[in-house]
Amino acid sequence: MYYPLIRSLLFKFSPETSHHVALRSLAIANSMGILGLLHKMPQQPVSIMGIDFPNSVGLAAGLDKNGDYIDALAALGFGFIEIGTITPRPQAGNPQPRLFRIPEAQAIINRMGFNNLGVDHLVSQVQKAKFKGVLGINIGKNFDTPVENAADDYVHCLEKVYDFASYVAVNISSPNTQGLRSLQTGSAFADLLQQLKQTQTRLAEQYGHYVPLAVKIAPDLQDEDIEYIAEQLVQHQIDGVIATNTTITRTGIEGLELSAETGGLSGKPLKALSTYTLARLAQALAGRIPIVGVGGICDGQSAAEKITAGASLVQIYTGFIYQGAQLIEDAAASIKALEAPV
């Protein structure tokens, strides 16, 4: 109800400035107790990966890269929060401008490049947060780490965040770090999964509790790629998969201003491709590994479509930018309606 006015004010700033202004404003509102009065968490329990989620609508990684705003974002009613992508060392990311709104299509193009303050900062922020709900931590590699050594970065981050995460998401699908998506294919993918699984097993014994691993994949995959990914995930006993990241295609925004900017496209134009990838993945996995559906959710119906296509949970980001926290409630309600008797 009030969000269209807030959005119109935020959209007067550059996208990256409005991002920071919005998050800081949420933190102030939360410290005053305002968010708790305005938003209630939808109660729709679901259990996957050995985790009990209060509802199936989560925040995707990328909005809170450093874990600086966990409590404020959690107060909006999300069933789970995913922070990151985080890398072993701090890095500035790509040069600005690197974030572009396309309001006519409810879309965003970004080429942020894993800008973050490093894994140690994120861990310190998680330790400070009061949030006791489901927290995913999304990990990546530094831009200057050679792809052939990428596993070292992922293992380092996994070791650092393991004892602070409800689950760990492995981002090998951002289009904005050179060579990263090559980790989704061939022996590089199998080798990475093997090293991550070995590390997870060792850390579970060390800390006395098991933290699931979920791999985040791209939408820009051929059917045979999806089948290979599914096969490897099952073979290496990975706990979950997140489908999908942003796309390098421009379907749905052709000819619009800024459509030629390089980077990953998210928002409404991503929905069809992302949901297709999810459905093909679900078919290949045949229920052996749960899927988190993300990409193009802009209303309750599109959230429900992810569940129908084979997802157990959904995540939102760009739709949240355009629709506000009402999207959490709408998505949860539409998903709940799928369970109602016909």
DSSP class of residue 116? Answer: B
What is the number of alpha carbons within 13 Å of residue 184 lying toward its C-beta? 28
Residues 6+ apart with CB under 8 A from 162: 168, 200, 203, 207, 211
C-alpha span between 18 and 118 (Å, rounded)? 23
Q: How many H-runs (helices) and E-runs (strands) does the chain carry? A: 12, 13
244, 186, 179, 249: which is closest to 217 by C-alpha?
A: 244
How deeply is 146 buried, as exposed, middle or buried, from its count of CB atoms within 10 A (0-12, 13-18, 19+)? exposed
CA 95 to chain CA centroid, Å, is: 22
- With beta carbons less than 8 A apart as the criterion, state whether 175 and 264 touch: yes
Q: Which of 18, 174, 274, 334 is catalytic?
A: 174
Integer angstrom CA distances of residue 276 from 41, 76, 103, 249, 308? 29, 29, 24, 14, 11
Integer angstrom CA distances of residue 193 from 2, 39, 48, 63? 45, 39, 20, 26
What is the number of alpha carbons within 13 Å of residue 83 lying toward its C-beta? 29
8 belongs to the catalytic site: no
Residue with tokens 């968010």: 35
The token duo for 305 is: 């479509």
DSSP assignment of 178-221: TTGGGGGSHHHHHHHHHHHHHHHHHHHHHHTS---EEEEE-S--
C-alpha span between 342 and 329 (Å, rounded)? 22
Instruction: Please list the active-site residues.
Output: 174
